[in-house]
Structure 1
């Protein structure tokens, strides 16, 4: 039999006036419930995508696409990197020293992470326009001959520091004996930055790389090299190539591997949200199932007549299967359409603001088409499962009994 006929009958059942108003009500509740579930799913996943992209961008801005670490890196390693990656579009290569140290000033002390970099890298990591909260993004002080140091704004507030204050950087690991004196460097606070990343604003300080080599007793040496590319889509292949070249003497890591715990937690949160919010659709499916069961009971005589006219049970099941899929798909389509419109408008126009306590002024949203496909497939699967029980009841009906059925 023509499948279009089955679809037409299912559509007529959907449009026809039900003798029991409760059937129509539960059908529309199913549509609304499935729509709300699909809407909530796509909006939530888009918000999580937006936050993940924003955090990724900020982490890469401060760190790098690729990092090579080791306590005895030299300029020769930089030359080797340039040779191995001569066919890659390298944006910049920045050597650095990254060590734990003690910051001391005015009787206050704090254990911080010191990152020693060159002046060019500083202007890139801490842009003056949007990251320097106070002072300048420079290691040169206009009021002192001491080398400059830049602190995260939370760290500066914790120590009660102002621009021009003197800060001591102490390397406690330089003491090899009980009576040894640690290496101490004197700096002047030239800038306070705000990167809107808690770990960085709370315990990170930048100094010039030459000063770092003096304090940490690493003349001509680096503890790591950061590499940035114009396109980092094939970053894993580049990482393997460099690791094979350096062997076991160096460790090469991508930006994602450096923050594996953070990004792993965000992915887990996304999967958990998808599963949890899918229960909204599942609850609506129960309404769909109950409305189909009641509709089957109401249409028993019509079902018997269709059987008498030659339609077998498989075809009649197909009618009610199409009816259930139609009701569910309407809700799914409405929910996805409205949520997609909202997400795309917010993604490009950012009209929904966030309170100032957050690290960005607007609600981030980023639509991934794979999320839309996943929601649609999951919704269709749940709708299909919800229609199985009602259509199974049709198989228990005999044509004569169905025709003689009295409501």
Structure 2
């Protein structure tokens, strides 16, 4: 009964704050600050979740989770490695590849290109690159002895090439090593552009695909391959699984995983998430501690009412409860409004960002710099619960000191006009 009385009186005091315009303004400011902080924090966390999702589903779907490559020679027994990989729990598939490093000429110089020879039937098990190009482009890579090449969109744009046009790839001539400071001669290979893929970021600018058989023929590898690509079920277990497979081989191999090539990008996302979380949590804390000012003034304004309640026998703990309830209502209202607007914006963040781009004629994210050209968003219920819980906890802590001061009110002095 006493608890319900404290809640009821706290609710009445909360409604009666409108009688004092200054207290009402401070209360509004604290509620608005909490709402803004909660909404922005939910939106930022959703954007970071979106970047992580796109990193895993877009970039890591194309970039191999791991690679085993020959040290000083190609890998001849690659079918055995593929078979062993399939036997390790956690590894989904493995596929061979042949890699050629070369240069292509563009209007203002040369562009370094990593040309990867793939077997489409096996490559589709470890990579989703086929999803980022047309079916006709992917089919052109099945023609084993053809000089077809599929370029990244950024690379094709830089070279001013379209499907059906040809290009020359310059590579160091095999067996011709530079001596006495002389530059080794380059060998030219002619290709026909059979397709264009679009992923975004550096891959579009530096990567091209050709049939694996033709790549082996150019390098004179015969039945050997440059390396084996590995795909795992859980990307964060890739380093352990790739090393387990690599250490079991008799041939000396280089062991690489995605954390060495794309790990910095993931670390950057996590660092930005943590910094933004701390900054916005402090914003919420400042807004919550505005509740202190509101309640301190409310306690001074309600001195006579507090004195009467204490004289009538209300316990000091119940008096504290009155002002805890009053401050908590500010926090609840702010959290509710912030969570509502934060969730609505987070669910429509990509469309809103696209609208801003169209309205202002700008591009927020460039595919030439990032691996995506849109602002992603993924709303997680756990993030919403965490943010709201944090804001509510801060708002409750902010009520403790003013509530304690209210419980220390001396009825005689308060009623005497002290």
Residue 302 of structure 2 is matched in structure 1 by 299
8 Å CA contact retained: 2:78, 2:225 = no
1:67-91 alpha-carbon deviations (Å, 9 max, x no partner): 3344356353442443353374865
Alignment pair present for 1:265 and 2:268: yes
Q: Secondary structure at the match of 1:364?
A: coil
Q: Secondary structure at the match of 2:343?
A: helix
Alignment pair present for 1:118 and 2:119: yes
Report the more deviating stretch, 14-23 or 46-55.
14-23
Residue 240 to residue 170, structure 1, CA distance change in 2 (3 Å): closer
Q: Secondary structure at the match of 1:97?
A: strand
Report the more deviating stretch, 85-94 or 149-158.
85-94
Report the more deviating stretch, 164-173 or 43-52.
164-173
- In the TM superposition, residue 199 of structure 1 has moved relative to its aligned partner by 0.5
1:164-184 alpha-carbon deviations (Å, 9 max, x no partner): 324133136853243685462
Q: How does 1:176-255 map to 2 (within 5 A)?
A: 176-178=177-179, 182=185, 184-216=187-219, 218-228=221-231, 235=238, 238-239=241-242, 241-242=244-245, 245-246=248-249, 249-250=252-253, 252-255=255-258
Residue 257 to residue 302, structure 1, CA distance change in 2 (3 Å): farther
Task: Give the alignment's TM-score, normalised by structure 2.
Answer: 0.80
User: Distance in 1 between the 2:256 and 2:313 partners?
Assistant: 69
Alignment pair present for 1:154 and 2:157: no
User: Distance in 2 between the 1:267 and 1:101 partners?
Assistant: 34
8 Å CA contact retained: 1:183, 1:215 = no
Residue 391 of structure 2 is matched in structure 1 by 379
Residue 334 of structure 1 is matched in structure 2 by 337
Residue 393 of structure 1 is matched in structure 2 by 405
Residue 376 of structure 2 is matched in structure 1 by 364
Residue 60 of structure 1 is matched in structure 2 by 60
Residue 416 of structure 2 is matched in structure 1 by 404
User: Distance in 1 between the 2:219 and 2:417 partners?
Assistant: 92
Residue 176 of structure 2 is matched in structure 1 by 175
Please report the RMSD computed on the Cα atoms of aligned residues, expressed in angstroms.
3.6
Residues matched between the structures, number: 400
Aligned partner of 1:138 among 137, 140, 143: 140
Residue 198 to residue 173, structure 1, CA distance change in 2 (3 Å): farther
Residue 93 of structure 1 is matched in structure 2 by 94
Residue 154 to residue 312, structure 1, CA distance change in 2 (3 Å): same
User: Distance in 2 between the 1:106 and 1:133 partners?
Assistant: 30
Residue 38 to residue 304, structure 1, CA distance change in 2 (3 Å): same
Residue 135 to residue 217, structure 1, CA distance change in 2 (3 Å): closer
1:139-189 alpha-carbon deviations (Å, 9 max, x no partner): 489xxx861222223223323434332413313685324368546251223
Q: Secondary structure at the match of 2:248?
A: helix
8 Å CA contact retained: 2:46, 2:377 = yes
User: Distance in 1 between the 2:168 and 2:132 partners?
Assistant: 25
- In the TM superposition, residue 330 of structure 1 has moved relative to its aligned partner by 1.6
User: Distance in 1 between the 2:106 and 2:256 partners?
Assistant: 35
User: Distance in 2 between the 1:107 and 1:361 partners?
Assistant: 26
Residue 85 to residue 126, structure 1, CA distance change in 2 (3 Å): closer
1:351-377 alpha-carbon deviations (Å, 9 max, x no partner): 763648555676422012332132123
Structure 2 regions of 5+ residues with no counterpart?
none
Residue 291 to residue 248, structure 1, CA distance change in 2 (3 Å): farther
- In the TM superposition, residue 266 of structure 1 has moved relative to its aligned partner by 0.9
User: Distance in 2 between the 1:16 and 1:107 partners?
Assistant: 73
- In the TM superposition, residue 261 of structure 1 has moved relative to its aligned partner by 0.3
8 Å CA contact retained: 1:108, 1:159 = no
8 Å CA contact retained: 2:90, 2:241 = no
Report the more deviating stretch, 225-234 or 42-51.
225-234
8 Å CA contact retained: 2:74, 2:221 = no
Residue 59 to residue 247, structure 1, CA distance change in 2 (3 Å): farther
User: Distance in 2 between the 1:309 and 1:251 partners?
Assistant: 82
Report the more deviating stretch, 280-289 or 105-114.
105-114
